[in-house]
Amino acid sequence: MKVFVMNKKRAVSYLALIFCAVCILTIGTLQSADVWNDGGDKLLPIYSVEKGNEKVCALTFDAAWDDADTDVLINILKKYNVPATFFMVGSWVEKYPESVKKFHDAGHEIMNHSDTHPHIDQLSDTKIKEEISKCNDKIENLTGTRPILFRGPYGEYNNAVIKEAQNQSMFVLQWDVDSLDWKNLSAADITARVTNRVKPGSIMLFHNGAKNTPEALPQVIEKLQADGFTFVKASDLIYKDNYTIDHSGKQILN
């Protein structure tokens, strides 16, 4: 029987190689999972979607204020043949059912922005479930379609929120381009801010009821369309399965 004697230096080298191999295998396993967990067990929502050179983007609105600009927004979107995604609060749906129907009948999708617009990351699991399910019920009762996308109020989320949305067969969606229209920026500033930041796979955030959004929106759409971008609904932008979410919240097809 042959006996191999290994000196200390060589033993350390072999151990280092083994350690590196284990690390590589571990990283590969993580990257092949459905969802990338940033910082250990922290779950991430979708902020944008990897689309390569395909110039597609999604226009989204949060609806939690009044409905005075409903017809204005619908007419602008119709003029440019742009579909949009409206995240609506359940209480807004109750208060303005006719506006909900108008957006839906105009071909836009209605998604979930919680039932009462709370700081949802501070709620118990039971309350989180209620906030999501009650809003889903209200939207489905009006439109006949149950939402598959959820966006937390104030953009807030935690693992419990994401897991509950997943339990209800939903995806949690954020944004990578914020118009800041709620700060009453001028139409020119909103336009420049948005069009300078949009990339293939971007998700834009606007609000209904924002003072200068109706003036800025046509400029934003015209500039992006001139640059070769196509607008799609958020539910059509994202991947439904076989994907990862990287540390920045970008959804990537495996």
Confidence of residue 235 (pLDDT cuts 50, 70, 90): very high
Q: What does the angle CA 37 – CA 153 – CA 131 come to, to the nearest 5 degrees? A: 90
Give 236-250 pLDDT, tens digit per residue. 999 999 999 999 999
Beta bridge partners of 80: none
Q: What does the angle CA 120 – CA 122 – CA 128 come to, to the nearest 5 degrees? A: 45
Q: Could you give all domains of the chain from N- to C-terminal order, each with its CATH number? A: 48-253 (3.20.20.370)
What span, in angstroms and rounded, lies between the C-alpha atoms of 139 and 11?
65
pLDDT at 171 over 80: yes
User: What average pLDDT is seen over the chain?
Assistant: 90
H or E segment at 188? helix 187-195
Active site (catalytic) residues: 62, 207
pLDDT > 90: percent of the chain = 84
pTM of the model: 0.85
Strands 177-178 and 171-172: unpaired
Confidence of residue 24 (pLDDT cuts 50, 70, 90): very low
Tokens of 238: 């994202």
